Amino acid sequence: MRFIRLAALLAALVAPIGAAFGQATAYNAIPVTVATLSIPSASILTAKTTPVAVLPTPPSGFAYLILGASATLNYKSATYSSTACGLYYHGTTQLALSANLNTTVDGAASVAAMISGLAAGNIALANLTTLGIDFACTTADPTTGDSPLKITVAYVLIPL
């Protein structure tokens, strides 16, 4: 009997969260959402000046819990100059993941990187609750490179 009550309690807590964002819900889980974005070479070449939005600002009272991400570079013919590219909170140099994407973006071959989890350490609450997540380069715009990049992020929205 207690198990049924717990399941009902979880359903009551989770359903409004998922329903508020048009996501399917289960009785015992917050739904995982997967976002995929293809970034053309022209956008990578301007990623410091004009970051590329990957996830928008989270809804009020929520934050993204990033479960993992992948980046796949479809190498063409020219490598990107090293630029500290990665997934950052919009307008900051705070990594949203536990590593940047330098070795993937700067690769001289078609490569993929898998990154799991949020960045280690404390993340400013203002970043978590009011900023989206961008693909950006923090040191400079790349000066060379012609390969597209595909970013996939798996996340859940959690209430804070």
Domain ranges of the chain: 1-30, 32-159
Say what the pLDDT of residue 118 is. Answer: 64
Q: Is the domain 32-159 a CATH 2.60.120 member?
A: yes
Measured on CA atoms in the order 148, 154, 158, 160, is the torsion positive or negative?
A: negative
Q: Output the tens digit of pLDDT for each of the chain's 160 residues.
A: 343 444 444 455 455 545 544 555 554 567 899 999 999 999 999 999 999 999 999 999 998 888 888 888 888 888 888 678 888 899 888 888 867 777 677 677 777 777 776 665 677 888 888 999 999 988 888 888 888 999 999 999 988 8
State the pTM of this model: 0.75
